[in-house]
């Protein structure tokens, strides 16, 4: 045994790709290397359809697993013990491995699940299971076999040069490696939905860039800090990205002073989309991503979405469109953005909120209202004074 | 121009305070409990600070207990007294405009079975003395009323309240205690041991460091500690002393109390100037601070038709720092409980801004503030009128 920690990383959907499989696997290895770069002396290798990660022994395994599990395309991870592929050696390693687990968790029952990936190995899978099981029973007196409900499932994976012993399969998020599916511009607010939308698209391999709208001084610097914090959390999955920060206040002021009150929200939405599209075109993003969700608020009724959608030519991805709010909240909790999202700071959507926003806007009327203000000039001015910041995970 | 008008939130540390803190951190870093010289040097510094604080309010050294902040001192007073005196009664009387450091412990005490009675205030933020008198009964063990309110600056008549309690105690043979949170007044107005049996003080409101508070407990009064350990602060508040911060508050107290009058006069002048300026130049305002019996460090004004928070961020853009009566997001309104208790309407609370002064503020600064205030208010009123 080496004095290194070994982790077996299994690819999810990547494995289904035909001729492109090596490309996807390579991208996946690159991503894992990237997230582990902050730890010194780690090694990531592709081998027989699996990815093996080896880290220094004194590096906290939990931290390594946490980072790898954030990589899209990873189906599961197992911290494993590596041994030479010899039935006696495997048996000895298994006994040592189980003694350690007994020590830590005081388990009483186990079951062996053996697999022979190397069909040239002289012992067949069921036989491996029996031999290892007998060795463990002899070496660990407190243990009994329970084939139905074992406290520990001992996996033995026998391969050509090396074999692996492990018990856990920690699920990853699945999906496809980042960078295998274009780049999208996400409209990131401070709410629950948009970080989830960005995460979902990135999970399918899309690189992201973000635009955030604020209404300073109607919104505070804390609200902006909150969005940066959210973006950093998202960057933990999606890698570093750029965030464009645009002050909407001059546009909101113009709308408030010239257009019907009940149309404020939908008009502002259209401005946001148009500005996002314009920045997207300048930054090689092929589509927009929003956290819109059918029927959630007045600006997300079917009628409102039709009017919003009409404002841009670029395809708009709305990955949350048919989810229930509770489901979105569950994802947000799962990926760790929820707690930050619910911090109570004013965001630009709630500023100038009309008392009774229109839920069934008519495109013709909205276009007429837009005709009262100089849309192009306002957009140009807003973009001219935008800020761009680089987002890195903490 | 940089103008800091949020001195009721916290103050800038005196240079001398910084020096004495640095001295403790760099050189006299020993543990006051250690037997060697380094420990003794630290102990000396704590002793010196304790003496300074004690002298500033006319207390004995052994009546001064260091805590981690004003909030802890308030908690210690409320929980300590109620635990020690629960056999005598279960009623605690506080005002509606106390700091959360008093109100939140009261909520907890309520859950623990104590009977908390809240006394209202008038439209200028003064506690209703008659209601307080009526509330006091044989079941009462503690009354807590702050010296100066942190949001509007009203100075409560502690002498009257103390007299009320003393008279009742004499008449009925009770031993009702009186606690006051003097965090806002200490270092600006005289604070004396005759005001109350227990007094809360804090370091960072008097140009001292954050993370240090004081509870004065009159000799002979036993309260139950609620932090146990190495018996520091004579067992009342265990835990290794925060020596640098203690040295810092000692130094700050020394400076503040030596020049109380001149410092206070500066605040009075700038406040007066700003108030007159606002009254003359900005229409549709409501002065929430009382005109009489108000501390010169606080001025609370509602600018009707403007959201205080928007004004705050606008002023911040010009390097002017104030605070508001409500931290709002339109989903969740976190309005000031003080302004609400004074009977202000939602609109008035929404437009409330608190300016709080220190001796470092100047008339010149007030001109600068007035200029930007005027500009901000008219800009956002114009917009607001469309809503």
pLDDT given for residue B278 in this prediction: 97
Q: Can you tell me the distance from the alpha carbon of A352 to that of A348, in angstroms, rounded to the nearest whole number? A: 8
Measure CB to CB from residue B329 to each of A216, A221, A345 and give the nearest one. A345
Chain B residues bordering chain A (beta-carbon distance below 8 Å): 307, 309-310, 312-314, 316-317, 328-332, 334, 383, 386-387
Q: Within an 8 Å CB–CB cutoff, is residue A350 touching chain B?
A: yes
What would the 3-class secondary structure string for chain A be? CCCEEEEEEEECHHHHCCCCHHHHHHHHHHHHHHHCCCCCCCEEEEECCEEEEEEECCCCHHHHHHHHHCCCCEEEEEEEEEEECCHHHHHHHHHHHHHHHHHHHCCCEEEEEEEECCCCCCCCHHHHHHHHHHHHHHHCCCCEECCCCCCEEEEEEECCCEEEEECCCEECCCCCCCCCCCEEEEECCCCCHHHHHHHHHHHCCCEEEEEEEECCCCCCHHHHHHHHHHHHHHHHHHCCEEEEEEECHHHHHHHHHHCCHHHHHHHHHHHHHHHHHHHHHHCCCCEEECCCCCCCCHHHCHHHHHHHHCCCCCCEECCCCCCCHHHHHHHHHHHCCHHHHCCCCCCCCCCCCCCCCCCCCCHHHHHHHHCCCCHHHHHHHHHHCCEEEEECCC
Tell me whether residues B330 and A261 touch, CB distance under 8 A.
no
At residue B387, does pLDDT exceed 50?
no
| Contact in structure between B247 and B211 (CB atoms under 8 Å) | no
Chain A segment 220-279 residues within 8 A of B by beta carbon are 220-221, 253, 256-257, 261
Do A106 and A211 share a domain, yes or no?
Answer: no
CA-only gyration radius of chain A, Å: 27
At residue A328, does pLDDT exceed 50?
yes
Quick check: helix, strand or coil at residue B124?
Answer: coil
pLDDT tens column, B207-238: 999 999 999 999 999 999 999 999 999 999 99
Handedness of CA B298, B10, B359, B197 (dihedral sign): positive
- Tell me which of B382 and A218 has the higher pLDDT: A218
Q: Can you tell me the distance from the alpha carbon of B353 to that of B121, in angstroms, rounded to the nearest whole number? A: 20
In a domain, A177, yes or no: no
Q: How far is B336 from chain A (nearest CA, A)?
A: 16
pLDDT above 70 coverage of chain B, percent = 96
pLDDT given for residue A154 in this prediction: 95
pLDDT given for residue B330 in this prediction: 43
Who's near A325: CB < 8 A, 6+ residues apart?
A: A293, A296
Reported ipTM: the value is 0.71
Per the structure block, which two tokens stand in for A225? 């800090």
Sorted by where each starts, the structural domains of chain B and their CATH numbers stand as: 15-258 (3.40.640.10), 259-384 (3.90.1150.10)
Average pLDDT over residues A346-361: 74
Who's near B94: CB < 8 A, 6+ residues apart?
A: B102, B103, B106, B116, B117, B118, B119, B143, B144, B145
Quick check: helix, strand or coil at residue B94?
Answer: strand
Per the structure block, which two tokens stand in for B271? 């406040």
Measure CB to CB from residue B309 to each of A220, A261, A344 and give the nearest one. A220
Do A151 and A222 share a domain, yes or no?
Answer: no
The residue from A143, A171, A199 where one domain ends is A171
Closest-approach residue (CA) in chain B for A222:
B313
Do A274 and A372 share a domain, yes or no?
Answer: yes
Tell me whether residues A350 and B331 touch, CB distance under 8 A.
yes
Q: Within an 8 Å CB–CB cutoff, is residue A327 touching chain B?
A: no
Quick check: helix, strand or coil at residue B323?
Answer: strand
Q: Can you tell me the distance from the alpha carbon of B296 to that of A178, in angstroms, rounded to the nearest whole number? A: 60
Do A156 and A248 share a domain, yes or no?
Answer: no
In a domain, A145, yes or no: yes
In a domain, A363, yes or no: yes
In a domain, A319, yes or no: yes
Tell me whether residues B317 and A350 touch, CB distance under 8 A.
no
CB atoms within 10 A of CB A171: 13
Q: How far is B324 from chain A (nearest CA, A)?
A: 13
Which residues does chain B have within 8 Å of residue A353's beta carbon, measured at their own beta carbons? 330
| Contact in structure between B153 and B290 (CB atoms under 8 Å) | yes
Tell me whether residues A350 and B386 touch, CB distance under 8 A.
no
Do A211 and A159 share a domain, yes or no?
Answer: no
Which residues does chain B have within 8 Å of residue A256's beta carbon, measured at their own beta carbons? 383, 386-387
Do A113 and A250 share a domain, yes or no?
Answer: no
Do A153 and A40 share a domain, yes or no?
Answer: yes
Tell me whether residues A257 and B383 touch, CB distance under 8 A.
yes
Domain containing residue A118: 4-171
As annotated, the active-site residues of B are 328
In a domain, A374, yes or no: yes
Q: Within an 8 Å CB–CB cutoff, is residue A217 touching chain B?
A: yes
Residue pairs spanning A and B at CB distance below 8 A = 38
Average pLDDT over residues B3-29: 97
| Contact in structure between A386 and A245 (CB atoms under 8 Å) | yes
Do A159 and A214 share a domain, yes or no?
Answer: no
At residue A2, does pLDDT exceed 90?
no
| Average pLDDT over chain B, rounded to an integer | 94
Q: What CATH number does the domain containing A20 carry?
A: 3.30.2130.30
Average pLDDT over residues B107-128: 97
Do A187 and A63 share a domain, yes or no?
Answer: no
pLDDT given for residue A1 in this prediction: 42
Do A133 and A258 share a domain, yes or no?
Answer: no
Tell me whether residues A344 and B310 touch, CB distance under 8 A.
no
Cis ω on the peptide bond leading into residue A321 (within 30° of 0)?
A: no
Q: Of B329, B326, B332, B327, which is closest to residue B345 (Cα–Cα)?
A: B326
Tell me whether residues B314 and A350 touch, CB distance under 8 A.
no
CB atoms within 10 A of CB A278: 18
pLDDT tens column, B27-86: 999 999 999 999 999 999 999 999 999 999 999 999 999 999 999 999 999 999 999 999
Tell me whether residues B386 and A257 touch, CB distance under 8 A.
yes
pLDDT given for residue A218 in this prediction: 84
Average pLDDT over residues A139-151: 92
Q: How far is A216 from chain B (nearest CA, A)?
A: 7
Q: Of A32, A34, A39, A26, which is closest to residue A9 (Cα–Cα)?
A: A32
The residue from A141, A171, A201 where one domain ends is A171
Measure CB to CB from residue B330 to each of A217, A257, A346 and give the nearest one. A346
Do A98 and A188 share a domain, yes or no?
Answer: no
Average pLDDT over residues A140-151: 92
pLDDT given for residue B332 in this prediction: 46
Q: What CATH number does the domain containing A370 carry?
A: 3.40.50.620
Q: Can you tell me the distance from the alpha carbon of B350 to that of A291, in angstroms, rounded to the nearest whole number? A: 31
Average pLDDT over residues B291-313: 94
Quick check: helix, strand or coil at residue B239?
Answer: coil
| Contact in structure between A92 and A140 (CB atoms under 8 Å) | no
pLDDT above 70 coverage of chain A, percent = 97
Q: Within an 8 Å CB–CB cutoff, is residue A324 touching chain B?
A: no
In a domain, A125, yes or no: yes
pLDDT above 90 coverage of chain A, percent = 73
Q: Can you tell me the distance from the alpha carbon of A197 to that of A228, in angstroms, rounded to the nearest whole number? A: 16
The residue from A149, A171, A193 where one domain ends is A171
| Contact in structure between B234 and B81 (CB atoms under 8 Å) | no
Cα B107 to chain centroid distance, Å, stands at: 20
pLDDT tens column, A184-220: 999 999 899 999 999 999 999 999 999 999 988 888 8
**Residue B202: beta bridge partners?**
B213
- Tell me which of A77 and B330 has the higher pLDDT: A77
pLDDT above 90 coverage of chain B, percent = 91
Q: How far is B343 from chain A (nearest CA, A)?
A: 26
- Tell me which of A244 and A19 has the higher pLDDT: A244
Q: How far is A214 from chain B (nearest CA, A)?
A: 13
Do A201 and A145 share a domain, yes or no?
Answer: no
Q: How many domains does chain A have?
A: 2
Instruction: Provide φ and ψ at A51, rounded to 5°.
Output: -115, 130
pLDDT given for residue B328 in this prediction: 47
In a domain, A137, yes or no: yes
Q: Can you tell me the distance from the alpha carbon of B386 to that of A257, in angstroms, rounded to the nearest whole number? A: 7
pLDDT tens column, A221-234: 888 899 999 999 99
Average pLDDT over residues B274-299: 97
| Average pLDDT over chain A, rounded to an integer | 91
pLDDT given for residue A20 in this prediction: 81
In a domain, A178, yes or no: no
């Amino acid at each position: 045994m080496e004095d290194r920690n070994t982790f077996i990383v299994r690819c999810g959907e990547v494995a289904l790709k035909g001729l492109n499989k090596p490309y996807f696997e390579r991208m996946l290895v690159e991503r894992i290397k990237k997230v582990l770069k902050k730890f010194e002396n780690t090694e990531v290798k592709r081998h027989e359809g699996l990815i093996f990660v080896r880290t220094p022994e004194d590096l906290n395994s939990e931290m390594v697993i946490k980072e790898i599990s954030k990589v899209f395309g990873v189906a599961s991870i197992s911290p494993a013990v590596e041994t030479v592929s010899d039935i006696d050696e495997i048996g000895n390693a298994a006994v040592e491995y189980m003694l350690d687990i007994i020590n830590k968790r005081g388990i009483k029952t186990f079951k062996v699940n053996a697999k022979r990936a190397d069909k040239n190995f002289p012992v067949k899978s069921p036989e491996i299971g029996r031999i290892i099981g007998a060795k463990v029973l002899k070496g660990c007196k407190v243990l009994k076999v329970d084939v139905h409900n074992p406290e520990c499932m001992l996996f033995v994976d026998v391969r050509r040069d090396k074999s692996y012993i492990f018990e856990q399969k920690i699920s990853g998020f699945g999906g496809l490696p980042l960078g295998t599916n274009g780049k999208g511009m996400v409209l990131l607010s401070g709410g629950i939905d948009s970080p989830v939308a960005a995460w979902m698209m990135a999970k399918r391999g899309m690189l992201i860039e973000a635009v955030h709208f604020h209404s300073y001084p109607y919104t505070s610097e804390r609200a902006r800090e909150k969005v940066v914090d959210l973006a950093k959390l998202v960057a933990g999955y999606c890698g570093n990205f750029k965030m464009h920060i645009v002050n909407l206040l001059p546009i909101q002021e113009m709308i408030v002073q010239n257009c019907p009150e009940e149309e404020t929200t939908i008009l502002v939405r259209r401005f946001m989309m148009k500005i996002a599209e314009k920045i997207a075109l300048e930054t090689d993003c092929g589509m927009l991503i929003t956290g819109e969700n059918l029927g959630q608020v007045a600006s997300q009724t079917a009628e409102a979405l039709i009017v919003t959608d009409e404002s841009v030519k670029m395809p708009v991805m709305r990955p949350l469109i048919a989810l229930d709010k509770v489901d979105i909240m569950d994802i947000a909790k799962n990926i760790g953005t929820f707690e930050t999202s619910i911090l109570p700071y004013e965001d630009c959507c709630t500023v100038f909120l009309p008392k009774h926003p229109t839920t069934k806007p008519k495109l013709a009327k909205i276009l007429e209202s837009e005709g009262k203000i100089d849309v192009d000039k306002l957009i140009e001015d807003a973009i001219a004074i935008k800020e761009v910041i680089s987002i890195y995970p903490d | 121009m940089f103008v800091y008008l949020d001195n009721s939130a916290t103050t800038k540390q005196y240079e001398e305070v910084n020096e004495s803190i640095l001295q403790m951190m760099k050189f006299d870093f020993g543990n006051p409990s250690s037997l060697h010289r380094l420990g003794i040097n630290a102990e000396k510094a704590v002793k010196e600070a304790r003496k300074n604080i004690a002298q500033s309010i006319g207390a004995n050294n052994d009546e001064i207990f260091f805590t981690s902040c004003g909030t802890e001192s308030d908690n210690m007073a409320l929980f300590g007294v109620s635990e020690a005196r629960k056999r005598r009664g279960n009623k605690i009387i506080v005002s509606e405009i106390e700091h959360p450091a008093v109100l939140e412990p009261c909520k907890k005490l309520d859950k623990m079975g104590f009977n908390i009675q809240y006394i209202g205030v008038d439209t200028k933020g003064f506690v209703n003395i008659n209601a307080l008198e009526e509330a006091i009964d044989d079941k009462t063990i503690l009354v807590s009323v702050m010296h100066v309110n942190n949001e509007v600056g009203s100075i409560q008549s502690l002498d009257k309240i103390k007299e009320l309690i003393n008279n009742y105690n004499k008449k009925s043979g009770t031993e009702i205690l009186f606690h006051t949170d003097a965090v806002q007044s200490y270092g600006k107005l005289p604070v004396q041991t005759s005001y109350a049996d227990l007094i809360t003080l804090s370091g960072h409101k008097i140009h001292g460091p954050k993370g240090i508070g004081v509870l004065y407990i009159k000799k002979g009064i036993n309260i139950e500690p609620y932090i146990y350990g190495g018996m520091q602060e004579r067992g009342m508040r265990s835990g290794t002393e925060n020596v640098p911060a203690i040295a810092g508050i000692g130094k700050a107290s020394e400076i503040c109390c030596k020049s109380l009058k001149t410092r206070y006069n500066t605040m009075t002048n700038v406040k007066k100037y700003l108030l007159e300026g606002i009254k003359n130049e900005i229409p549709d305002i409501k002065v929430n601070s009382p005109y009489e019996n108000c501390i010169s460090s606080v001025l609370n004004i509602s600018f009707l038709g403007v959201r205080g928070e928007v004004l705050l961020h606008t002023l911040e853009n010009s390097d002017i720092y104030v605070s508001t009566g409500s931290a709002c997001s339109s989903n969740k309104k976190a309005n000031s409980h003080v302004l609400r208790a004074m009977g202000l309407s939602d609109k008035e609370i929404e437009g409330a801004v608190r300016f709080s002064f220190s001796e470092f503020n100047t008339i010149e600064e007030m001109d600068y503030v007035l200029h930007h205030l005027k500009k901000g208010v008219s800009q956002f009123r114009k917009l607001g009128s469309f809503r």
